[in-house]
Homo-oligomer: A and B are copies of this chain.
Amino acid sequence: METETETEIDIEIEPVIEKKSLRSPGELVAVVEALIFVADEPISAKLIAEILEEDRESISAAIDNLREEYEGRESGLQIREIAGGFQIATRTELHEDVRKFLKTRPSAKLSLASLETLAVIAYKQPVTVPEILEIRGVQSASAIKTLLEKRLIVTKGHKETVGRPMQYGTSKDFLIQFGLNDLSELPSIEDFEDLVG
């Protein structure tokens, strides 16, 4: 292990001596930014230093630099220090617009439970909750609620049996989101038969 003496010649710019950084200060800021950006969780200066094989001081300097840069230009993003690490986040003032976007973004993303329920409804429609339970073997109430909210399914009137349960089928939005012109385009098991051979 190398002894890291305090070689504070110029913390600001010179990436410190014996490690012989090959990166210019600008490059260091850039790669630090990239690491903070890709990290799933706040990333500490220590970890960044290890990855880049640079000393802590240069990394801290680079982060300071980066923060100033973000504040200097009127960026929509900020470098936040949180839980001992750094992360990039949107600026607080913009939350209203950000929230609006998050609410309206169209999404076909589904949990596995919802996807299963949707699959049953798509292939068995019109179908009632008890029938879905029968096929899936699990309660599907919350999945159905999600699917209704995402407007992927619609109610299709009551079934004329005991209890007159509500029937469900897929919606126009379902067709759009799954890129189908009509339900006949839904692939059947036979369509993929030869793929499974």
Contact = CB atoms under 8 A, between A and B. Distances in A.
Interface of A: 1-8, 11, 13, 26-27, 29-35, 37-39, 43, 47, 50-52, 69, 73-77, 88, 90-91, 94, 97-98, 100-105, 129, 141-142, 144-145, 148, 151, 154-158, 160, 166, 171-172, 179-181, 184-185, 187, 191-192, 194-197
A31 B196 CA distance: 42
B39 A74 contact: no
A31 B94 contact: yes
Given A52-B97, A141-B197, A104 B2 contact: no
Identical copies in the complex: 2
A158 B1 contact: yes
A162 to B, nearest CB: 14
A144 B101 contact: no
A75 B157 CA distance: 45
Given A2-B157, A156-B179, A157-B180, 16 more contacts: A1-B157, A4-B157, A5-B154, A6-B154, A7-B154, A7-B155, A30-B91, A34-B76, A37-B76, A39-B105, A50-B104, A51-B100, A145-B192, A148-B195, A154-B179, A158-B184
Contact of A29 (B27, B31, B76, B129): B76
Contacts of A194: 129, 141
A98 B7 CA distance: 27
Contact of A187 (B100, B104, B166): B166
Contact of A97 (B35, B148, B197): B35
Contacts of A129: 194
B26 A104 contact: no
A195 B4 contact: no
Nearest to A4: B155
Question: When A and B form their complex, which 6 residue pairs have the shortest distance between CB atoms, in order from nearest?
Answer: A34-B76, A33-B76, A30-B76, A4-B155, A157-B185, A34-B90
